[in-house]
Every structure is written in structure tokens, then in C-alpha cells.
Amino acid sequence: MMNYQPQPRQLRFSVDEYYKMIEIGILKDYEKAEIIEGELIQKMPIGDKHASVVNNLNRILVKNVSDEVLVSVQNPLRLSDYNEPEPDFVLADLTKYDGRRHPRPTEVLLLVEVSDSTLKYDRDKKLPLYAEAEIPEVWIVNLPSEIVEVHTKPTFGLYQLVQIYNRGEIVKSEIISNLKIEVDKILG
């Protein structure tokens, strides 16, 4: 006769439970984490190059999108009950989004991750979540390689098309037709 012992199990937290734990004081250092697959994931410190690129992109994006697009910087995006990442940029459609809560996938036009030490995590963990949520376009500003990856056509949890833009080239959004930015201006 086999003796079955209870096994440890992972506890997953919903995004709502996460906020409740913050509200009642269970979690204190919450601003340094995001919730992915029901787990609290500690965010990496932001280095000089990362901060510089985010500042460059913020200035460029705000100047180059219409008033019907909100440029949200390093704020949460509610993908599902168990996923609320904090991408570097969310460009939300203000004809669908009222700005009174964190945006939902159907309200997002384009999302940007600026990636240096987090490149593998952003590609392997976050990008499939964005595709599964059908975010139409994701840019990964790949700092180590000095390129911009544009991921489009999400189907079955994968982006079907990836375009790579190098220094000297111009990144063109498929979703926001008039958005064109020189890679050199993004990278500085």
C-alpha cells in the first residue's frame, strides 16, 4: 500500500487579491513588482540607458500620436484576472478607454517594452501574454542589440510577424498609420 503525502502547491493571486493585500497592509513594497500568472514578479532596477530611451520615446510618442491616443508610461495593463504587467508604454485608444482604470487589451493599440537585462523575460514570458491577450502590436526596444523588434498579427498566443529595425532605419507602426520613428532617435 502506497502512502500518499500532501504535496506543496503554488499559491496564485488574482490581480484583485493583490490590490486587496496592498489595501489592508499585507504587502508594503508593491511598487517594485508586477503580477504575472498570479505571481508577484520583482521588477528590475532601471539603469541609465533604459531611462534615457524611455524619456526619448515618451517625448517622441506624445508629439507623434493623435489626441485620441493616450501615451501611458510604466503603468499597469490589466490583461486578465491573473496578469497585470507594467510595460514601459501603453498606447491606448481614447475612443474606447476612459482613463479611469488600468487599460484592458481591447483598448490598447500598441505596447512598448524597453529591454536590456530583461530581454529574455520580456520575450519569453511577457510577449506570449500580450499575444494571448491579442494586443495588436508590440515593440521591443532591444538595447543590447540596438534594434527595435515590431511584433504584429497575434494568433493562438504567438505573434505571426516580426520585423526588425536597425539604426539608420525608420520604425513604422502597422496599427497607428502615421507613427514613424527613426531608430537612432529612439536609442539616442
Work out the end-to-end distance of the chain between its first and last CA atoms, rounded to an integer number of angstroms: 68
The amino acid that residue 64 corresponds to is: N
- The pLDDT value given to residue 44: 83
Distance CA 94, CA 73 (A): 15
> pLDDT value at position 23?
87
pLDDT at position 2 is 67
DSSP 8-state symbol, 84? B
Name the strand (E) or helix (H) holding 19.
Answer: helix 15-23
Per-residue CA distances from 70 to 76, 143, 148, 149, 177 (Å): 14, 25, 21, 22, 16
Question: Across the strands, what pairs with 115?
Answer: 142
Q: Which pTM value belongs to this model?
A: 0.90
Give the pLDDT of residue 31.
61
How many angstroms separate the CA atoms of 101 and 107, rounded? 12
Amino acid identity, position 11: L
Our separate counts of H helices and E strands in the chain read 5, 10
Contact yes or no for 57/186 (Cβ under 8 A): yes
pLDDT of residue 180: 97
Q: What is the pLDDT of residue 149?
A: 98
> Hey, what's the cell of 46?
532601471
CATH architecture of the domain with range 45-187 = Alpha-Beta Complex (3.90)
pLDDT tens for the chain, 188 residues: list them: 567 777 777 778 899 998 888 888 888 766 678 899 998 888 888 899 999 999 999 999 999 999 999 999 999 999 999 999 999 999 999 999 998 999 999 999 999 999 999 999 999 999 999 999 999 999 999 999 999 999 999 999 999 999 999 999 999 999 998 999 999 999 99
| Rg of the chain, C-alpha, whole Å | 18
- Which amino acid is located at 41 in the chain? I
- pLDDT of the residue at 51: 96
Taking the C-alpha atoms of residue 61 and residue 177, their distance in angstroms, rounded to an integer, is 13
The pLDDT assigned to 93 comes to 97
